[in-house]
A and B are shown apart, each in its own frame.
Chain A
Amino acid sequence: MTMLPSSLPPKKLGLVIDLDICVGCHACAVNCKQWNTGGHSAPLTDHEPYGNDVFGVWFNRVHGYEVDDGKSGRAVYFPRSCLHCEDAPCVTVCPTGASYKRGEDGIVLVDHDKCIGCKLCSWSCPYGAREFDEDEGVMKKCTLCVDRVYNENLEEWERLPACVITCPAGARHFGDFADPNSDVSKMSAERGGYDLMPEMDTKPVNKYLPPRPRQLDEKPNQLLDAPEKGFLGWLDKVLS
């Protein structure tokens, strides 16, 4: 068993993911892969990269769904990665202390030197957010780009997770949820940011913004009328 931080971290770093404008383009997933394969948890190993059964380690995966909303239906894209939960079951289940939640900012990380590859954490994570590197025999996962967000070799505007900085639609945001005035806190409050599977009591830090209501035909709408009679009758009025 591994303990969570004894007091709430002063910062709660995490992501807001806007499902209203995610186009499912996988930019976040691939940019994450290229940053992280050379970063904190390097490498993000790929097995049979050019073979029949290619599979690799990804910290972020994007799924597409069709939803029957009782109206015209809709397609939704859902990027899935570690939610850096406050009550992270993947931490408390870890027998060696490899899986831990940082006391200063709440980021959940794995210490690969301590990881014995038992996979208990991946069994306990309800979101399937852990990725086992079979080659190295250790568990890997989203680090919230801990090697970017504090990296003083980067310019200040670049100190963001790779998935956030690359997202073409602007659907991903990073910030401190402990600060009610942060952009992510405000955005989440305004747009009804929600927890994924709250019934699991994991208290995820990351929030998803639901799709905005569609502007269908709920606006009262006057169909076009042709009050003037005759061929281009309205034109005579316009020109007179």
Chain B
Amino acid sequence: MCACRCGIKVHLTNGEVRYIQGNPNHPINKGVLCAKGSAGIMQHNSPARLTKPLKRVGERGAGEFEEIEWEEAMEIATKWLGDVRSTAPEKLAFFTGRDQSQSLTGWWAKEFGTPNYAAHGGFCSVNMAAAGIYTIGSAFWEFSEPDWEHTKYFLMFGVAEDHDSNPIKRGLGELKGQGGKYISINPVRTGYAALADEWLGIKPGTDGLFVLALIHELLRAGKVDVEYLKRYSNAVNLVIQDGDEDGLFVRDEEGNELCWDVNLGKPVPSNGKDSSPALKGEFTLADGRIAKPVFHILAERYLEEKYSPDAVAEETGIDGATIKRIAAEMAHAAFEEELTLYIPWTDWCGRKHDKMVGRPVAMHAMRGISAHSNGFHTCRAIHVLQILLGSIDAPGGMRFKPPYPKGLDSMPKPTGMLKDIKPNTPLAGGHLGYVTAPEDLLVDDDGKPQRIDKAFSWDAPMSAHGLMHMVISNAWRGDPYPVDVLFLYMANMAWNSTMNTAETIKMLTDKDEETGEYKIPKIIYSDAYYSETVAFADLILPDTTYLERWDCISLLDRPICDADGPSDSIRQPVVKPNRDVRPFQDVIIELGARLGLPGLTNEGGEAKYPGGYSDYIINHERAPGVGLLAGWRGEDGDELGVGAPNKRQLEKYIANQCFWRMELAPEQRYFKTINKDYLEYAADMRFIGSAKPIIGQIYSEPMQKFRLAAQGKGEVQPPESHRKRVETYFDPLPIWYTPFENEQKGVEEFPMHALTQRPAAMYHSWGTQNAWLRQIHGSNNLHMSRKKAEKMGIENGDWVKVSSRNGEITVQVELMDGVNEDTVWTWNAIGKRSGAWNLEPDAKEAQEGFLLNHLIDERLPADEHGYAQSCSDPVTGQGAWFDVRVRVEKVNAKPNQRSEPVFETVKLPEGMQKRPDILRYGANFKKKGMSS
């Protein structure tokens, strides 16, 4: 249902859903369930559900459709997709939203042969994923969790009320109970932040500077874990100081990274068992070159006065004394309250430790860091801080969830050079991955992007999740090339999941003047509900609700594991659809067979998985013995992780409450990056390529390689237009720069920041049409600081015009104390287009609700080369929708004032269920009791 993926038990009475309960044995939620999960009955029975395949008959956007049979729908889709595949496969752009089947959709797109596939990570959290993987081999959000039980000092940066939902609530309850101190760094004090011992209402986009000031303080006072740095981080590595290899590591002939051994007075391999590495100094190598340890370079940088707490106070809005105190408290927790678990363990090079000594300082971060154009570096700064404290996967610190950590050498590289794209031919590898040098980019000899979203190009080299937010804009512009078919799944890209909504709608409906054809000629969309995007598609493939289909949360996708062990899960269909709809996964498996995709057809050309998705879950092997589910593999179901497909695997899962979990041995549970027993286990399970340690990358050599290319070194160099950008932002140590929007000409006219938050009770627009949840959040206001409003003469309930360089909206104000004075914010995805989602056209969501998205341009103004970069992080391409700057002005409300802009009411397709005027759900369950 949502990305939290809790285990649920669905109770039925006479075939209807009576009650949905959290599964007490499930590793994610341990029996609890949030408001969204508890409102599943209304999600499942919503009158917004689509009922039959639809073919557009009116103009795009009007909502005029004709119902068609599935056979016709599949024939149309096969024709459109087949034409593209047999001529120019790159003319299919296939992008998916918040689904949990990326291990299928990505593989399907690879078999199809288009380079243009990604899911929604590009506008969600790729800054977190990429900064984590490039630095510590794991990341915030899905790949880790704070050690709630043990942490003494917990910092949470920029997390609204989600990501992840129930585990954080459970964890905060536990943390407060055991007496740990909790600091929330967030411009807004709601939800999780309300529980904090201390709330720091930081100015948006300045978290990185705050973190670097903490690092400044710790370095100044020597409060870092020197032993940890020497053994398990690249702090010791020698960095060449000049020449063609400037900034790269000193290596020996075998390619080992070297440190300076102070006893031997010469370079030796880094992190070796018996070395005595220098952390500071300047050393002359045998060939005369000069080199310095990473730690020396790091200290030189962050000890600069500009990173001192007093120097950053004005920019961050947090006074110097507070930053100094936080640094002191953090050091106290890490080094004076160190936490010992008496569990013997062995590190990667065989040193035996009789106990696990933890640094009980934990951190967690998400959207408030992620959605800024400086988010990658800010997130890296947080991880460097954690490495300096020695709290990485330590007791009381940030703990990693298997199959993570994974070193960069275990991560795939992206595939998709246009020269390799051939008709009717699969792609040679996966679409997404982690580049480590300019040679890995997807660019041609002139440096031109190869993908429709320009991922892995010089625009955003480390765009590990793609840039879904740029697909419509680029396809409309034909830059780098036009597409023929845009195929979207569960992504409300014509409304709340896009930047610049009003302009995006124009792009989707814009026609070529000469041919009269839409600029994006064919759009196929699959959704279970009548979301705003449906009206803009030409062919609709209606999906089921989450209770009507098989789903699989695979270790190959976005895993559900916890720090004490890997797990995966399925969901089985519990209710049969009462409409002519099909699970999207079944549909693309059948489409693949009709298209003759190699992985989906046998040698004779017949469908390889005639049983649909459940057949695929059981029988598909990604590599020999590796499939979607890790539990009960092997013909007899007695193999773990790796083994032949088991025909009865799903039965085994169902018998085990639909999940599989393997508990790590106590000695494997901490220090996973450097823990011999864990690393060997992970290699056996094929989580990682080999049991090599995953050394903390304080200094990112891959980044320096990109910077060198920008300085004119190496085979693959950026075009002139991109040199300055790449040189600036590919700093091998974390940097802080002001978010791009703050630098735009005329920004002084837009003095405030504007943010959105997701309410705990909603899961984007899919939740806001829910009959119960819309009674909790049925409309949204613009929240602003009471103090600030007073100065501006604005009162609670006033209407204001909010403008940015991109557009304006008119909305109603709600005042509060707990918000940074220079910031306004609202709830995300509550505003609806009138008529969509089968709500009454005059529903509050359409009258009072609004989107902030209209204010956010998906592109920056053209640079001095005339090129408009996307509004994204320059390293990862993460959509920087928290960068937006606005002006707020009071307006005189008209009679019956409603939020603006106003869009024409969209028509409802025929065949949709009638909205009830009154809902008596459950009346017929009375006294019947409950059966499962």
Contact = CB atoms under 8 A, between A and B. Distances in A.
**A associates with B:** yes
Interface of A: 20-21, 23-27, 29-31, 33-39, 42-52, 54-56, 58, 64, 66, 68, 72-77, 135, 151, 153-154, 157-158, 165-171, 212, 214-217, 219, 221-226, 228, 231-232, 234-235, 237-239
A231 B929 contact: no
Contacts of A35: 19
Nearest to B201: A72
A29 B35 CA distance: 7
Contact of A46 (B170, B221, B280, B772): B772
Contacts of B838: 50
A185 B597 CA distance: 65
A75 B818 contact: yes
A231 B299 contact: yes
Given A168-B170, A223-B324, 20 more contacts: A27-B32, A29-B776, A35-B19, A38-B926, A43-B920, A46-B772, A47-B918, A51-B842, A54-B778, A56-B771, A66-B817, A73-B818, A168-B34, A168-B166, A170-B173, A221-B329, A221-B332, A224-B217, A232-B299, A239-B262
Nearest to B24: A157
Contact of B843 (A26, A50, A151, A234): A50
17 contacts: A21-B176, A24-B190, A25-B34, A25-B760, A26-B761, A27-B32, A27-B761, A38-B18, A42-B922, A48-B917, A52-B843, A66-B816, A75-B189, A75-B194, A168-B29, A168-B170, A228-B222
B277 to A, nearest CB: 10
A234 B818 CA distance: 40
Contacts of B195: 20-21, 23
Contacts of B760: 23-27
B922 A238 contact: no
A24 B195 CA distance: 10
Contacts of A221: 325, 328-329, 332
A23 B221 CA distance: 37
B695 interface: no
B839 A169 contact: no
Nearest to A167: B32
B675 interface: no
A63 B168 CA distance: 21
A226 B818 contact: no
B808 to A, nearest CB: 25
Contacts of B327: 224
Contacts, number: 250
A216 B197 CA distance: 6
A54 B849 CA distance: 15
Given A29-B776, A170-B173, A52 B771 contact: no
Interface string B161-178: 100011001101110110
A225 B922 contact: no
Interface string B764-784: 000001011111101000000
A90 to B, nearest CB: 23
B304 to A, nearest CB: 11
B528 interface: no
B226 A23 contact: no
A54 B325 CA distance: 49
B332 to A, nearest CB: 8
Given A52-B840, A168-B34, A221-B325, A42 B926 contact: yes
A45 B38 contact: no
Nearest to B196: A214
A50 B47 contact: yes
B922 A39 contact: yes
Interface string B1-43: 0000000000001000011111010000101111101111100
Contacts of B198: 72, 214-216
Given A26-B760, A38-B925, A226 B194 contact: no
Given A23-B169, A157-B24, A49 B817 contact: no
Contacts of B329: 219, 221
A33 B161 contact: no
Contacts of A232: 219, 222, 279-280, 296, 299, 303
A219 B198 CA distance: 13
Given A165-B21, A168-B32, A170-B174, A235 B925 contact: no
A147 to B, nearest CB: 9
Contacts of B299: 231-232
